[in-house]
Amino acid sequence: MLSLSLKEALSRLKDGSLSAKELCEKCIDRAVKTRELNAIVTPTYSQARKQAEVAAQTWSRTGKSTTSARKLEGLPIVVKDNFCTKGVHTTCASRMLENYVPPYNATVVQRLFTQGAVLLGKSNMDEYGMGSGSVDSIFGPVRNPWKYEFTNTRTIPEGTLDTSSLLASPQSPGEALGTRGLHRSVHPGTGGSNPGLHEEGAWRVAGGSSGGSAAAVAAGICFGALGSDTGGSTRNPSSYCGVVGLKSSYGLLSRHGLIPLVNSLEVPGIMARSVDDVNTLQNIMAGTDEHDSTTLTDDRFVTSDLPEDIDVKHLHIGIPKEYHAPGLSPDVLDAWRRAADKFEQAGAKVTEVSLPHTQYSILCYIVLCCCEVASNMARYDGIEYGHRGQQELSTEQMYAMSRHEGFNEVVRGRIFAGNFFLLRRNYEQYFLKAQRVRRLIKDDFTRVFDEGVNVLLTPTTLTDAPRYDWFTAADNRTRNEEQDIFTQPINMAGIPAVTVPAGLTSNGLPIGLQFIGQMFKDKEMLTVAKWFEQQVQFENLNLDHLDN
Ligand SMILES: NC(=O)C[C@H](N)C(=O)O
């Protein structure tokens, strides 16, 4: 039941064959049984039960014959831990915000609540969204639920610390954090021995930085999740975990209450088990927000339901030749080719196109990302915001100590690099140059679309989900260059993109393909993606055996 799509679950709530309370309990049970994934860092089960109770009452009042129930009445969701949630810890998986409890909800979160969504918990991520594996978190890494052997599936009551899955690891930052929630101090993957792993580090990463959200959707913990997407952080983990991941056009979704990483590139990301579902969630959240001046003031672009009968005959699908990148695995290449063939067989025009500046994109992304990170992170001084170093020191030393203790190495590295790029003597050579190239990257897309292409089709990632030990053998910058290679140019251009599961590799792991659309033509892109989804008939991961 927990591998149903949001749409299917909603219709079962509507016809009364499922109750909101039952659904909530099932999701909580699944979250507990899959806690080895480390997907949820702050469970909110009490709040979820209260919200589900309200939903159950609403459903029994409104009944199946009316349409007066809210659009997500009783549907469990998960929210990445960089979105503010009123009264619920919001840590960005960083020691810096370890004790931060926001007094307000991010606009997108509020809009989901207004439609009756039930919050099951906050999800794990790379610290502040910097990473592509969800391995750099103070709570420890997220595990990919695909091909994962669960060993510890006992149900334990909320609020009890589950010490049985606590692995003794000297590097486990989660341990130092105490036991605020059920999963707080679980640090899977390093040290100790886990009978579920045939080989140490052999399990697959969930991708990042929104890995907790993707793993939660794939594992059936929830029916939809919020991630964020700055350079690929929603699409990369969605691809690795076999779910649909949407990065909307910049300006369609409010960023108010999303703790900033790179303001000019990031958008809230949406994950679910079908294209219709991400579209539904986008419709609910999209539109003007007085708290975010970069949101559209014209609600014309907010999408509606996607059609059922889709015809792709009149379409022109572009295949960018620059995406045949070194390191592309034969399985992914094959899936990409087969997808292009499907469109061609259905009568669409499929042609190779060129986006010549793609090759410069990742380096420009890194420069711009670091510059904005350096400026965004300046607010965390230990006085106004965030963790404060304990020693009695001078003010300057206290700033330094707070920031040294509060941020991990990746964050500190990006702050250093950003400040370097922004030095007066470097500004023109790095920051300004990267901005200019960014414009050329955007112009490449505009030209191709102006020439008649409706949607571009590319792989989302080079390979299937990497092994944890392989992933952590290189530094963050190297991984950034490999992992975000196909996703970050889309953020540079501000346009929409969605990843859709296209099948499995010979390893039995999901492959994602990316559809890239024109600015504010999210609906056209999603319609094409839905057509593809209908052809592929991808089977969602089914963990129902854990229920027994
Ligand atoms: N949030 C993201 O999209 C981040 C991206 N993976 C990075 O490390 O910069």
232 lines ligand 1 (CB under 6 A): yes
Q: Does the active-site annotation cover 233? A: yes
Span from the CA of 31 to the centroid of ligand 1 (angstroms): 26
Q: Give the Å distances, CA to CA, from 29 to 26, 137, 221, 255, 321.
A: 5, 24, 8, 32, 46
Residue of higher predicted confidence among 409 and 198: 409
Please tell me the distance from the alpha carbon of residue 303 to that of residue 301, in angstroms, as a whole number.
6
Q: Which residue has the tokens 């610390």?
A: 161
Amino acid in position 367: V
H-helix or E-strand spanning residue 30: helix 20-33
Span from the CA of 519 to the centroid of ligand 1 (angstroms): 21
Q: Give the Å distances, CA to CA, from 483 to 76, 155, 217, 310, 400.
A: 30, 35, 21, 32, 31
Active-site annotation holder among 209, 210, 213, 249: 209
Q: Does the active-site annotation cover 521? A: no
Span from the CA of 131 to the centroid of ligand 1 (angstroms): 5
- Each residue's pLDDT tens digit, 21-64: 999 999 999 999 999 999 999 999 999 999 999 999 999 887 66
Given a contact cutoff of 8 angstroms between Cβ atoms, the answer to whether 12 and 4 are in contact is yes
Span from the CA of 398 to the centroid of ligand 1 (angstroms): 29
Mean of the per-residue pLDDT values of the chain = 90
- Each residue's pLDDT tens digit, 218-272: 999 999 999 999 999 999 999 999 999 999 999 999 999 999 999 999 999 999 9
Give the lowest-confidence range in 11-20, 450-459, 529-538.
11-20
The preferred substitution site among 261, 471, 514 for testing ligand 1, maximizing ligand atoms within 8 Å of CB, is 261
H-helix or E-strand spanning residue 21: helix 20-33
Name the residue at shortest CA distance from atom 5 of ligand 1. 231
Across residues 76-88, what is the average pLDDT?
A: 98
Q: pTM to 2 decimals?
A: 0.92
241's tokens: 């975990």
Given a contact cutoff of 8 angstroms between Cβ atoms, the answer to whether 211 and 142 are in contact is yes
Please tell me the distance from the alpha carbon of residue 450 to that of residue 94, in angstroms, as a whole number.
43
Q: Confidence class of residue 156 from pLDDT cuts 50, 70 and 90?
A: low
Given a contact cutoff of 8 angstroms between Cβ atoms, the answer to whether 208 and 233 are in contact is yes
Neighbours of 18 (CB within 10 A): 20
Q: Give the Å distances, CA to CA, from 155 to 35, 150, 326, 474, 547.
A: 10, 13, 45, 36, 10
- Each residue's pLDDT tens digit, 372-429: 999 999 999 988 889 998 777 888 899 999 999 999 999 999 999 999 999 999 999 9
The preferred substitution site among 233, 263, 365, 462 for testing ligand 1, maximizing ligand atoms within 8 Å of CB, is 233
Q: Give the Å distances, CA to CA, from 89 to 100, 178, 189, 209, 416.
A: 6, 14, 24, 18, 28
Neighbours of 208 (CB within 10 A): 33
Closest atom of ligand 1 to 132 CA is 6
Across residues 501-517, what is the average pLDDT?
A: 97
Please tell me the distance from the alpha carbon of residue 234 to that of residue 298, in angstroms, as a whole number.
25
Span from the CA of 408 to the centroid of ligand 1 (angstroms): 15
Is the pLDDT at 292 greater than 80, yes or no?
A: yes
Q: Quick one: pLDDT at residue 463? A: 97
Q: Which value does ipTM take for this structure? A: 0.97
H-helix or E-strand spanning residue 108: helix 107-114
Q: Does the active-site annotation cover 354? A: no
207 lines ligand 1 (CB under 6 A): no
Q: Quick one: pLDDT at residue 155? A: 63
